[in-house]
Amino acid sequence: MEPESAKLFAAALAIGVGAIGPGIGIGLLASKAMEAIGRNPDAAGKIQGAMILAMAFTEAIAIYALVIALIIKFV
């Protein structure tokens, strides 16, 4: 394998594997938040605020994986 193709493969692997966890996490977060809102609609505002904050932290992990993939590709 040539060095350039190895770098591209490593970058693709980094973002691919790095996006699996946050994808599953955000799906579970949204699922449980909708379930909680369905059980207690009066608390929808508090649940939604906490859900959005947790999603932002979860999405940060995917952004870190993207940064690593870009570093691998361009350095």
Spatial separation of the C-alpha atoms in residues 16 and 20, rounded to whole Å: 7
Spatial separation of the C-alpha atoms in residues 63 and 6, rounded to whole Å: 22
Please check whether residue 55 is in contact with residue 34, taking contact to mean a CB–CB distance below 8 angstroms. no
The predicted pLDDT at position 54 comes to 95
pTM above 0.85, yes or no: no
* Encoded amino acid at 21, one letter: G
59 Cβ partners below 8 Å, 6+ apart? 22, 26
Q: Where are the domains of the chain?
A: 3-74
The predicted pLDDT at position 12 comes to 95
The predicted pLDDT at position 66 comes to 95
CATH code reported for the domain at 3-74: 1.20.20.10
Output DSSP code: residue 70. H
Instruction: Tell me: pLDDT of 65 over 80.
Output: yes
Comparing 3 with 67, the larger pLDDT belongs to 67
